Amino acid sequence: EPEVTQTPSHQVTQMGQEVILRCVPISNHLYFYWYRQILGQKVEFLVSFYNNEISEKSEIFDDQFSVERPDGSNFTLKIRSTKLEDSAMYFCASSEGEPGYTFGSGTRLTVV
Amino acid sequence: KNQVEQSPQSLIILEGKNCTLQCNYTVSPFSNLRWYKQDTGRGPVSLTIMTFSENTKSNGRYTATLDADTKQSSLHITASQLSDSASYICVVSDSNYQLIWGAGTKLIIKP
């Protein structure tokens, strides 16, 4: 069964550093998403991406964050100048359209 | 305000027993309701997706119900297995396809 692949599975970074989280969505999917989940809390929407541009973003997705689809297969989330409170699981998801989303296994980001 | 509330917060049952998890929502307008299973440290995996007109949907030992009038859904797990230990998350999509996430029910199956 096709899956969404995320790398790395775990990233530890120092506060103030930049990190790039990588995702390979399912090949025929057109819609891409990033979500995060702080330990013990609800999953939170960050951003959706369609047709090479951001289609929607949440209040969390401020200037510290950016997304890119640098080639036909990868979808990246960049977090500039990381803060302690950015520590969370970050999930990438993709879909052909509503309603079926497929989530990746996540990247656990730890900011120290 | 659009909200999804789940109960109980956590549940412990013995292997082989059945259980039912609840979800109440205030999302309007409503598009669909999903149940996801999330193993610890993993991404959510879809169990069922139901639209307004669907009352019941099954996926193996998982059966979801939806009452769109009372804005309630339930997920029933039959003959639980140790591998069912996970968080079960109810997610409601509005007509703009915004997903409103519940906090989940943490289910622990004991041998």
Q: pLDDT by residue (tens digit) across A70-96?
A: 887 899 999 999 999 999 999 999 998
**Rounded Cα–Cα distance for residues B91 and B98 (Å):** 10
**Rounded Cα–Cα distance for residues A54 and A28 (Å):** 18
Residues with pLDDT less than 70, chain B: none
Mean pLDDT over A14-43 rounds to 94
How many CB atoms neighbour CB B33 within 10 A? 28
Strands of chain A (E only): list them: 5-7, 10-13, 19-24, 31-37, 43-50, 53-57, 65-68, 75-79, 88-95, 102-103, 107-111
Distance from CA of A108 to the nearest CA of B (A): 8
CB–CB contact A91 B101 (8 Å): no
- Answer whether A103 touches B (CB < 8 Å): yes
CB–CB contact A100 B46 (8 Å): yes
pLDDT in the model for residue B20: 98
- Percent pLDDT > 70 in chain A is 100
Tell whether the model's pLDDT for residue A99 goes beyond 80: no
Q: Which residues of A touch B99 (CB under 8 A)?
A: 45
pLDDT band at A50 (very low <50, low <70, confident <90, very high): very high
- Answer whether A43 touches B (CB < 8 Å): yes
Nearest one of A9, A12, A17, A90 to A47, comparing CA atoms: A90
